[in-house]
Amino acid sequence: MSQIYRREFIKLLGAAGIVSASSGILLPGIAAAKANARVVVVGGGFGGATCASYLRQYAPDLEVTLVEPHKEFITCPFSNTVLAGMKSMDYITHNYDGLRNNRGVKIVHDWVMDIDTIAKKVKLKGGSSLPYDRLVMSPGVSFNWNEIEGASEATSQIMPHAWKAGAQTILLRKQLEAMKDGGTIIIASPRKPFRAPPAPYERASLIAHYLKKSKPSSKILVVDSSGESEALALFRKGWKKLYKGMVEWVDGSQQGEIVSADAKSLSLTGRSVGTIKGDVVNLIPPQRAGDIAKIAGLVDKSGWCPVNPLNFASTLQKDIHVIGDACIAEPMEKTGHSASSQGKICAAAIVTELNGGTMPSVTYSTSIYSFLGPKYAVSSAEVFRIKRGKLVQISGGMSLEKASRKTRLKEAKFATGWYKGITTDMFAKK
Ligand SMILES: Cc1cc2nc3c(=O)[nH]c(=O)nc-3n(C[C@H](O)[C@H](O)[C@H](O)COP(=O)(O)OP(=O)(O)OC[C@H]3O[C@@H](n4cnc5c(N)ncnc54)[C@H](O)[C@@H]3O)c2cc1C
C-alpha cells in the first residue's frame, strides 16, 4: 500500500464507517468512481455465498450477482449426521433469502456453461450472459471417474459417493436402512487432495453409531487411500471405545487405492486389498476442481486452480479469483471453514483493489469438527499466514488423544454451535 493510498485509506475509514470482518480486515465502502463495478460470483456454497455476502457488507454500492443452479443449498457438513439418523435433511438445507433480502445480492439460479475471459462475460445455460469487472469462482469439486475402471456418475446411483450432499445422502441412508443385519459397508476414500479429509472417518463413526443400535452384527470396512495420520489415530481410539470390533481400517495408500469397481456385484478392487465385496458400497472417487474451472482455463495439470493466496487471484486468468475447494491453497485443507475464510479475504481484496489499493497480508483460519457419536466429537483448527508468497501454518492442532467423555461432549456442542454460526453467516440469516 503506498503512503498516499494509506493516508486516503485511513481517511476513508473515518468517513465511511468501518466494516470489520472476522479476518481482522478493516475496510471503507467502495470509492464512488467504482461504485457501479460488477462482481459475479459463481457457486453459492461455502466460499461463494460467504464472498457474495461480504462483498456487499464491505461495499454496499457494489453490484454483486451470485450464480447458483440450486434454489436450496444442502451442506456436506452435518450430512453424516443425516446418514446416522441424528439430524434430518431439513436441518442441512438452506435457502438464499437472507443473501437476497438482507444483503442485496442478486441471485441468479442457473448453470454457468462458459466464461469469455476476453469480453469478461459469464455465459449461462438459460442463454443470457452476465458481464463482470471481477469474477469469483467457487464451484467446489468434480470427480475423476476415469481413475476407477467401471465407476461413473451412473454407477454412483448404485454405489453412492454422498460427497455432494442431497440426493446422494438420501440414497446412502436408504441403502443403510434396507441392509440386513450382519452386512458389510465399504467406505472407500480417495487419496489427497480431496474435500474434507477427516469426513470419511466421521462417516464410518456415525454409520457405526446407527448400526450399533439397529444392526449390531454388521461391519464397516474403511479402505483409506490417504494412509496413516494424526487424525486417524484419534478416530481409531474412539472406534475402539465406542464401536469395538465394528470398524476395520485398511491402508489403501502406497499404490493400494481402488482401481476398479463392479456395480453389479457391489465389489471394488484395489492393488493391495484385492477384490472386496460389500452389501453397501460408499465409493468416494478422486477429485479435482469443479468442471467449470477447467472450461474457464483456470486449472493447471494438477486439476486444481493455482492462485495468489494474498487475494485468491487466478495466476492463469486476469480479473478472476478462485476460492474454496477448487483452488490450490495448501496447507489449508479443503473444508467449508477454509472456503468461508477465503471468501471473506477475497471479498476484502476485491474491494481494496477496486479502491486502488493493495490487499495487506492477513491471517487465514480453518477448523473442522467431526462426530464419532452424538455426544462425542473431536476437532482440529489451524491458522495460516503468507510467508515468502506462500501460505504457511503458524499455529493450530487437534483434540488430544486422551480426553474425558465430558470434553468430547463439549466438543459435540461446539460442533453444533460452529454449524449454526457458519450457516447463519454465509446465508446472511438474521
Ligand atoms: C461428508 C462431508 C462432511 C464435511 N464436513 C465438513 C465440516 O464439518 N466442516 C467443514 O468445514 N467442511 C466440511 N466438509 C467440506 C465442505 O463441504 C467443503 O469443503 C465446502 O463445501 C467447499 O466449499 P466450496 O464453496 O468450495 O464448494 P461448495 O460448498 O460445494 O459449493 C459449490 C457450489 O458451486 C455450484 N456450482 C458448481 N458448478 C457450477 C456452475 N457451472 N455454475 C453455477 N454454479 C455451480 C454448486 O451447485 C455448489 O452449490 C465436508 C464435506 C463432506 C463431503
CB neighbour burial string for 119-136, b if at least 16 within 10 angstroms, e if fewer? ebbbbbeeeeebebbbbb
pLDDT single digits (tens) 261-270 = 999 999 999 9
**CA 257, CA 393: separation in Å to the nearest integer?**
29
Domains 3-69+110-142+289-359 and 145-285 are alike in CATH topology: yes
> How many whole angstroms from 245 Cα to the centroid of ligand 1?
33
Paired strand residues for 268: 261, 276
| H or E segment and range at residue 354 | helix 336-354
Cα separation of 259 and 281, whole Å? 15
**β-pair partners for 205:** none
- Sign, Cα dihedral of 265, 266, 270, 276: negative
Cβ of residue 160 lying under 6 Å from some atom of ligand 1: no
How far, in Å, is the centroid of ligand 1 from the Cα of 327?
A: 12
Q: Coil, strand or helix: which one is 60? A: coil
- Distance of alpha carbon 55 from the chain centroid: 20
The reply to whether ligand 1 has any atom less than 6 angstroms from the CB of 418 is no
Domain ranges of the chain: 3-69+110-142+289-359, 145-285
Closest-CA residue, ligand 1 atom 16, reads: 336
From the CB of 45, is ligand 1 less than 6 Å away? yes
Q: How far is the CA of 417 from the centre of ligand 1 (A)?
A: 19
pLDDT digits (tens, 9 = 90+) for 385-405: 999 999 999 999 999 999 999
Centre of ligand 1 from the C-alpha of residue 204, in Å: 20
Architecture of domain 3-69+110-142+289-359: 3-Layer(bba) Sandwich (3.50)
pTM for this model (two decimals): 0.93
Place of cell 498516499: 4
430 residues of the chain, pLDDT tens digit each: 333 333 333 333 333 323 333 444 555 566 654 667 999 999 999 999 999 999 999 999 999 999 999 999 999 999 999 999 999 999 999 999 999 999 999 999 999 999 999 999 999 999 999 999 999 999 999 999 999 999 999 999 999 999 999 999 999 999 999 999 999 999 999 999 999 999 999 999 999 999 999 999 999 999 999 888 999 999 999 999 999 999 999 998 876 689 999 999 999 999 878 999 999 999 999 999 999 999 999 999 999 999 999 999 999 999 999 999 999 999 999 999 999 999 999 999 999 999 999 999 999 999 999 999 999 999 999 999 999 999 999 999 999 999 999 999 999 999 999 999 999 999 999 9
205 CB less than 6 Å from ligand 1? Answer: no
Measured from the CB, is residue 419 less than 6 Å from ligand 1? no
* Domain 145-285 part of CATH 3.50.50.60: yes
Q: Which residue's CA is minimally distant from atom 38 of ligand 1?
A: 139
